[in-house]
C-alpha cells in the first residue's frame, strides 16, 4: 500500500492553488532526508543518508510542471520512482537555476519559501544570487495547513504503523528486564518493529531511572535497576507514515507511589481520549487532563512539564513530530482528519517520571484511536512484578 | 570511554586560534542532531530528535567563554553533561542575541560561519537581524581541517565501533537468507549492533538484486532471491564516533560471473589497503584499484561508478561521512591520523553490483586497519552456498 500518483498530483495542484491565492510567482519547498515530510508529501520518496546527505527541493513556478532537486546519488532512484519528470541533482543547483527559473530571472518576483527552518544558508545564497530581484517570503504555514488534515489513505498507512507499534510495545514488555542497558532495550524494540517491515521514523528513546527527568535523552549504557521507570518511545514508519507511541514500564521493586502514579496515568489517558471532540478548541486536551490530575494531587507533576517542556501532544504524519502542537495555549480547532499524538507526562515523582503516548485520529463524530494497546489493556499492564 | 573535557577544551582553543589567525571577530559553528559532528566535536553531546529537532550552535566571540545554543528540550541534558557553562535554548535565539553578541552589536564585524550547509535560513535571518553591520563569511574548511586528523582517543573509539561492525557483519552472514526482505536484513544487523551498545551512526543500507544498481536506496519490502547480491552498509557509533563498514553477500544460486567478481573484489581491497602510504597523494587509492581492475577486465564496472557516483571512500569520524572525499581527483596528501572508509564498488555486472568497504587509519608508517573482518577472511567469505 502506497500513496497513489493521483493523490500526489492533487496535493501539488492544491499547493499551487495556495501559491496563486497568495500572489506568489513561485514556491520553493524544502526538506531534508531527516525531516522529509515537506518533500515526501509531494514525491512519496524519502531519501536515504548514506554516502551523501540528500534534501528534496521542489520548485513550483507559475503553471510550469514541477522541478525536483534532490541529492546527487538519490536522484537515480528518484528518477525511477517519483512521478515528477524533471528531477535534477542538487549539487548542480547553481548550474540549473537559470534554466529552471528562466521565467523569473532579471525581474522582481514574489517567491514563497516553505521549510526555511530547514533550507540551509548555502543553498539559499545560490538561489538568491540568481533571483536577485526577488522577495523571498517565508510561508511554511501554507503547507502545514495542507499536511495537518490527512486523507483516508494517509490514515490507513498510519493505522498500519500504529498496529506495528502496538505489537512492538507489547512484545517489549516480555523482553525488558533489570540488568539491560537503555541501548539494549532500544535494540529489542527496533528488532521487533524492523522485522515487521517498519522503517525507523525517528531515533528510539529509552530513558531509565534518573534519566527520565530529562525531556530528551539518547539511549545510553546505563543499566536498568529494580524499581526504575523505563520510558520507551518507539516510532515506526510504514510507507513513510509514522507512529509516535510510547509506554513507561515500571520495573519490579518499585514503590507504591510509583505504582499508583503510573496506574492513574493510564486511567487518565483512557478517560480523556474518548472525550476529545472535533470542532472544539485544542487546549481542551490539556484541560481535560488537568481536571483529573489536580484533585488526585498530581498537578505539580504535570503542569510544569506540560507547560514548559513537553506539552500534551502534537501532530504526526510523514514526520514523527509535525504541527500542530498541543499545549495549554493551542487555540486552533480540532479538525476531522487531524492525526495527533496525545501524551501524558508526569515527572518529579520519586524515581523520575513517565510518559504514556498514543496516536489518535480526529473523526467527524469523535476520536478514532490508531494505537489500541494502551486503551485496551488494564491500567497496570506496564507494571512488572 | 569518552573524549575527556581537556581534549574538548583544547579543540575549542585550537578553533579560536584559527579564528584569530583568519581575522574573524567571532565564529558561529552550526550542526543539527543528524549531522552532529561540528557541534559534537566541541561538546561531546549529540542531541536526540524526538519531540523536538535540536541543532547545536556554538558561538566563539573574541576571547569570551563559548556559548552553546541547543534545542529547548535537549538543553536540560546538555546543561548537566556538557563542559560549556553558558548553554541556552535556541528557540529564544532572538531574545538572547543582544546579550551573547553584545560586544559586536552596532558595529562592522567579520563573522565566520561554519556549517552554512546546515544552518537554516530562518536562524540565519535572526542572527543577521541583530548583527546587521557584520559580514558573514563561510569558513567551514577551518573546522574540516581540525576534524580530519584524529587524536589517539578518537582513533580508540573508532576502533571500538569498527570491532562492533565486524561482529555485526560476521553475525549477519549466519542470519541472512533467501526469502527475507531488505528491511528484515537491516533488522538483524541493527539488532546485533544495538545489543552490543552501539548507536546508529546513519540509516542502515540494504540493497538487494536490481536495487544494487542504485547508488542510494532505503531498505524496502523487496524479498531476497537466489543469486542476489545483497549489499549491507551498517554504521555503528560508539561514544559518537562512527564506523562505515560494508559487505556484499552473494546468495546461493549465483552465476560464476558474480562469484568471480566478488571474489576478485575482496582480493583487490586486501591488496590495495596495505599499499596506502602517508604523505602520498590521496588519488593514489583510486589508481591502485584501477591498476588491478583494468587488466582483469573490470574497468567498466569500476570507473563510471568511482568517478561519477560513488568514489573510492571518504573520511569517517563523528559523522559517518566526513571530509575529505576520496576520488580520482583527490589532490590532498594523506596525513597520519586521517580515518578513511575505503570502498570498492563494482556495478553493471549481471545481477547488479557490490560494495566492499572498511575503515582504516593512516599511520606514520602505513595503514592501521580499524575494520579487520574483510582483511582477515578469505576472498569468498561472503559467498553463500
Domains of chain A, start order? 5-147 (3.40.350.10), 152-376 (3.90.230.10)
pLDDT at A127 over 80: yes
φ, ψ at A28 (rounded to 5°): -115, 115
Q: Cα separations (Å) of B58 from B86, B88, B321?
A: 10, 10, 21
Structure letter (DSSP) for residue A103: G
Rounded CA-CA distance B219/B51 in Å is 25
How far does B139 lie from chain A, in Å, by closest CA? Answer: 12
Report pLDDT for A334.
98
* Average pLDDT of span A266-284: 97
B122 contacts A120? CB cut-off 8 A? no
B116 contacts A121? CB cut-off 8 A? yes
List the single residue in A48, A197, A219 with the smallest CB-CB distance to B217.
A48
Residue B143: band (very low, low, confident or very high) from pLDDT cuts 50, 70, 90 = very high
Residues 6+ apart with CB under 8 A from A276: A284, A285, A288, A334, A342, A360, A362, A366, A367
Residues of B with Cβ-Cβ distance to A47 under 8 angstroms: 216, 218
| Closest alpha carbon within chain A to B188 | A191
pLDDT at B50 over 90: no
ipTM passes above 0.90: yes
Residues of B with Cβ-Cβ distance to A235 under 8 angstroms: 50
Q: Which residues, listed in sequence order, are joined to residue A28 by a DSSP beta bridge?
A: A59, A113
Report pLDDT for A307.
86
List the single residue in A121, A216, A320 with the smallest CB-CB distance to B119.
A121
Give the count of alpha carbons within 13 A of B346, CB side only: 30
List the single residue in A35, A52, A181 with the smallest CB-CB distance to B216.
A52
pLDDT at B309 over 80: no
Structure letter (DSSP) for residue A66: P
A302-325 residue pLDDT tens: 998 888 777 999 999 999 999 999
* Average pLDDT of span A21-39: 96
Q: What is the largest CA-CA distance in chain B?
A: 72
Report pLDDT for B308.
76
List the single residue in A73, A122, A219 with the smallest CB-CB distance to B309.
A73
Report pLDDT for B344.
97
pLDDT at B310 over 80: no
* Average pLDDT of span B47-67: 92
**Counting every residue, how long is chain A?**
385
- Cβ–Cβ < 8 Å for A89, A69: yes
A121 contacts B74? CB cut-off 8 A? no
Rounded CA-CA distance B40/B322 in Å is 13
How far does A333 lie from chain B, in Å, by closest CA? Answer: 22
pLDDT at B16 over 80: yes
Residue A72: band (very low, low, confident or very high) from pLDDT cuts 50, 70, 90 = very high
How far does A263 lie from chain B, in Å, by closest CA? Answer: 24
Residue B109: band (very low, low, confident or very high) from pLDDT cuts 50, 70, 90 = very high
B309 contacts A77? CB cut-off 8 A? no
Report pLDDT for A156.
98
Residue B307: band (very low, low, confident or very high) from pLDDT cuts 50, 70, 90 = confident
Mutation choice for B interface testing from A38, A50, A131 by most B CBs within 10 A: A50
Residues 6+ apart with CB under 8 A from B37: B31, B147, B317, B318, B319, B322
DSSP code per residue over B98-139: HHHTGGGTTS-EEEEEE-TTTSBHHHHHHHHHHSTTEEEEE-
A138-195 residue pLDDT tens: 999 999 999 999 999 999 999 999 999 999 999 999 999 999 999 999 999 999 999 9
> Is residue B297 classed exposed, middle or buried when 0-12, 13-18 and 19+ CB atoms within 10 A define those classes?
exposed
Report pLDDT for A310.
77
* Average pLDDT of span B54-69: 97
> Of A189, A74, A381, A275, which is closest to residue B215 (Cα–Cα)?
A74
User: What nine digits make up the cell of B184?
Assistant: 528484515
Q: With pLDDT > 70 as the criterion, what percentage of chain A qualifies?
A: 100
> Which strands make up the sheet holding B236-238, listed edge to edge?
B199-200, B236-238, B241-242
Mutation choice for A interface testing from B28, B48, B307 by most A CBs within 10 A: B48
Torsion, Cα B346 B348 B354 B357, to 10 degrees, reads: 30
Question: Could you give the 3-state DSSP secondary structure of residue B360?
Answer: strand
Structure letter (DSSP) for residue B318: S
Residue B95: band (very low, low, confident or very high) from pLDDT cuts 50, 70, 90 = very high
Percentage helix, strand, coil for chain B under 3-state DSSP, each rounded to 5: 40, 25, 35
Long-range contacts (CB closer than 8 Å, 24 or more residues apart) made by B174-178: B176/B224, B176/B230, B176/B232, B176/B249, B176/B251, B176/B384, B177/B224, B178/B224, B178/B225, B178/B226, B178/B228, B178/B251, B178/B252, B178/B253
B316-354 residue pLDDT tens: 999 999 999 999 999 999 999 999 999 999 999 999 999
How far does B365 lie from chain A, in Å, by closest CA? Answer: 28
Rounded CA-CA distance A22/A15 in Å is 11
pLDDT at A94 over 90: yes
List the single residue in B120, B186, B197 with the smallest CB-CB distance to A120.
B120
* Average pLDDT of span A100-109: 97
φ, ψ at A349 (rounded to 5°): -85, 165
**Counting every residue, how long is chain B?**
385
| Closest alpha carbon within chain B to A223 | B197
**Residue B268 CA, distance from chain mean position:** 23
List the single residue in A199, A217, A314 with the smallest CB-CB distance to B48.
A217
Mean pLDDT of chain B: 96
Question: Could you give the 3-state DSSP secondary structure of residue B20?
Answer: helix
Residues of B with Cβ-Cβ distance to A119 under 8 angstroms: 120-121
Residue A327: band (very low, low, confident or very high) from pLDDT cuts 50, 70, 90 = very high
* Average pLDDT of span A203-226: 94
Report pLDDT for B317.
98
Report pLDDT for B295.
98
Amino acid at each position: 500500500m502506497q500513496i497513489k500518483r493521483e493523490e500526489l498530483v492533487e496535493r501539488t495542484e492544491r499547493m499551487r492553488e495556495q501559491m496563486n491565492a497568495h500572489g506568489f510567482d513561485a514556491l520553493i519547498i524544502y526538506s531534508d532526508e531527516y525531516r522529509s515530510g515537506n518533500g515526501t508529501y509531494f514525491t512519496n520518496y524519502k531519501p536515504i543518508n548514506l554516502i551523501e546527505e540528500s534534501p528534496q527541493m521542489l520548485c513550483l513556478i507559475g503553471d510550469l510542471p514541477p522541478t525536483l532537486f534532490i541529492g546527487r546519488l538519490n536522484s537515480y532512484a528518484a528518477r525511477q520512482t517519483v512521478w515528477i519528470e524533471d528531477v535534477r541533482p542538487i549539487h548542480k543547483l547553481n548550474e540549473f537555476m537559470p534554466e529552471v527559473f528562466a521565467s523569473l530571472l532579471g525581474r522582481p518576483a514574489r517567491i514563497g519559501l516553505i521549510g526555511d527552518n530547514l533550507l540551509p544558508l548555502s543553498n539559499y545564497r545560490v538561489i538568491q544570487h540568481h533571483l536577485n530581484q526577488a522577495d523571498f517570503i517565508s510561508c511554511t504555514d501554507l503547507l502545514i495547513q495542507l499536511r495537518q488534515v490527512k486523507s483516508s489513505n494517509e490514515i490507513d498507512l498510519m493505522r498500519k504503523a500504529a498496529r506495528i507499534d502496538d505489537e512492538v510495545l507489547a512484545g517489549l514488555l516480555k523482553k525488558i528486564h533489570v540488568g539491560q542497558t537503555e541501548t539494549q532495550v532500544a535494540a529489542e524494540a527496533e528488532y521487533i518493529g524492523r522485522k515487521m517491515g517498519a522503517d525507523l521514523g525517528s531515533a528510539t528513546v529509552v530513558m531509565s531511572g534518573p534519566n527520565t527527568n530529562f525531556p530528551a535523552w539518547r539511549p545510553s549504557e546505563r543499566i536498568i535497576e529494580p524499581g526504575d521507570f523505563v520510558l520507551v518511545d518507539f516510532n515506526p514508519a510504514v510507507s513513510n507514515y509514522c507512529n509516535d507511541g510510547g509506554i513507561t514500564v515500571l520495573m519490579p521493586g518499585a514503590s507504591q507511589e510509583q505504582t499508583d502514579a503510573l496506574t492513574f496515568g493510564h486511567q487518565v489517558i483512557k478517560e480523556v481520549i474518548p472525550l476529545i471532540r472535533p470542532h472544539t478548541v485544542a487546549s481542551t486536551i490539556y484541560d481535560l487532563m488537568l481536571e483529573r490530575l489536580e484533585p488526585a494531587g498530581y498537578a505539580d507533576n504535570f503542569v510544569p512539564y506540560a507547560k514548559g517542556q513537553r506539552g500534551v501532544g502534537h501532530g504526526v504524519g510523514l514526520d514523527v513530530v509535525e504541527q500542530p502542537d498541543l499545549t495549554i495555549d493551542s487555540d486552533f480547532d480540532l479538525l476531522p482528519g487531524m492525526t495527533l499524538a496525545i501524551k501524558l507526562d508526569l515527572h518529579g515523582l520519586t524515581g523520575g517520571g513517565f510518559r504514556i503516548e498514543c496516536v489518535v485520529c480526529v473523526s467527524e463524530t469523535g476520536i478514532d484511536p490508531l494505537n489500541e494497546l494502551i486503551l485496551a489493556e488494564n491500567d497496570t499492564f506496564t507494571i512488572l512484578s
